[in-house]
Amino acid sequence: MQIYAINNNIPARIHINVQSGNNNIKGKSIDTPQKVYASNLCFRGGAPLTALINDYKWFINCDKIPAINSFLKLEAPKDALESVLRFILGHDEYSYQLIESITANPREINNIYNNLKNKININSDLLNLFYPTNPYFTAYKKYTDKKLFEAKSISELLKIRPDWSGDVLLKKYQELYHNNHFELGKIPESIGQENYQQIIEYLSKHNQYGLKYEETIQDLSIGNKIYKFKNCIDGRSDKNVFQVEVNDGNKFVIKIAKPENRSLDDSFALGTCCKIDSYLTLNGCRNTAPFKYYNHENNSAIYDYIEHFEVDNLGDVSREFSRLRDYRDLGMSPNDTIGANNYFVLNHKQNAMKGTNGYELGVENGELISIDNDHATYYTPMSPRISGIHKELPNGIVGMFF
């Protein structure tokens, strides 16, 4: 038997109870239209393509279910669902809507991909998501082009993924703000935007390169604010790290590197680190120090200060999935395991971490906080890299020492 169409609004008999006083009769059975889904009907040959697509649109528009979840909700033979997915990916509006629903939930992308594999044929070319002629890749490129064109801020882009090319971000910033003074985030009110440049100039006099040593830094007074400093001596790169305590009780970390070494793409570059940390912080990651601000011109950055609880018996962190679970769920893998000071243990006393995703669970499981993410790998199975727009994150340790 072949069915060409179905009526999606078939009357169903239901029983209602209505209090007296209305114009209805208690206990009266009436005919009321109810949605009957094609994907829930069982008949030989499955549901027609048009009916399945109608169900998909019903889930989105009427049930308010995100597009990817609406597709995964469909029940039909794999060939039929593959046809639905091809239809969606071949339609500009529907494909944008689908991919937007995927990128909106970066922690769920791996689960989405695994569920997708169960919905369509395992040998389908649709699962070759990184192949340039694949319909998903084509749709993702269109989505990326439109997202980049329409974005109203750099943060809007970095919330999706961290591996945007530095040149692309710098150009977009210039288009948005009509200047080349690239910034990410916002200077905390406690530090004061009007005081920040003076603080950087003051701390730059205490920058060290190569093997660093502990140094006493005099307090800095600006207006009604007093800033106390302490330099952190771990690491041999050109990045200098200072603990800053303001007289209102707030603590931060300021990082400064040589302005001539500024980059949003290079290994060990402060800008690269801030690009990655912006992605993680915008998504509330519990496994990284909260990022606050980056200034490309003077190559400096601000982070929330994290109370230090050192790691005992630190193994190869790149393989310790359970201790960086949220970091991993967001598609990141660390490549720097040199120096225990790159990681601290999550603890209830770290006020800056409260409010991050799954913070209590992370504390309970003894998870870590990564405080130096300038070389890491980003990969999720449904986020193909688009040539000229995205750039692989640096992940080498070569040249670390000099």
DSSP 298-319: TTEEEEE-----PPSS---GGG
Going from the C-alpha of 129 to that of each of 71, 140, 142, the distances in angstroms are 17, 9, 14
- pLDDT for res 34: 46
Tens-digit pLDDT profile for residues 221-269: 999 999 999 998 766 677 899 999 999 999 999 999 999 999 999 988 9
Contact 129, 383 (CB under 8 A): no
- Per-residue pLDDT of 361-374, as tens digits, reads 999 999 999 988 87
Residues listed for the chain: 402
Q: Report whether pLDDT(384) > 60.
A: yes
Domain coordinates of the chain in residue numbers?
Answer: 33-150, 154-378
pLDDT tens for 100-122 read 999 999 999 999 999 999 999 99
**CA-closest candidate to residue 147, choices 98, 200, 114, 100:** 100
Residue 15, CA atoms < 13 Å, CB-side half-sphere: 1
The tokens describing 8, both together, are: 């999606």
pLDDT given for residue 235 in this prediction: 64
Q: What percent of the chain has pLDDT over 70?
A: 82
Residue scoring higher pLDDT (315 or 279):
279
Computed over every residue of the chain, the mean pLDDT equals 86
Cα–chain-centroid distance for residue 343?
A: 20
C-alpha span between 48 and 33 (Å, rounded): 21
Segment holding 329, helix H or strand E: helix 325-329
- Distant-in-sequence, close-in-space partners of 135: CB < 8 Å, separation ≥ 6: 86, 89, 90, 126
**Tell me, what's the pLDDT at 30?**
35
H or E stretch covering 29:
strand 29-35
- Residue 289 burial class via C-beta count within 10 angstroms: exposed 0-12, middle 13-18, buried 19 and up: buried
Q: What DSSP element (H or E) covers 177?
A: helix 166-177
d(CA 184, CA 273) in angstroms, rounded, equals 12
What is the tens place of the pLDDT at every residue in 194-215?
999 999 999 999 999 878 888 9
Please tell me the pTM assigned to this model. 0.86
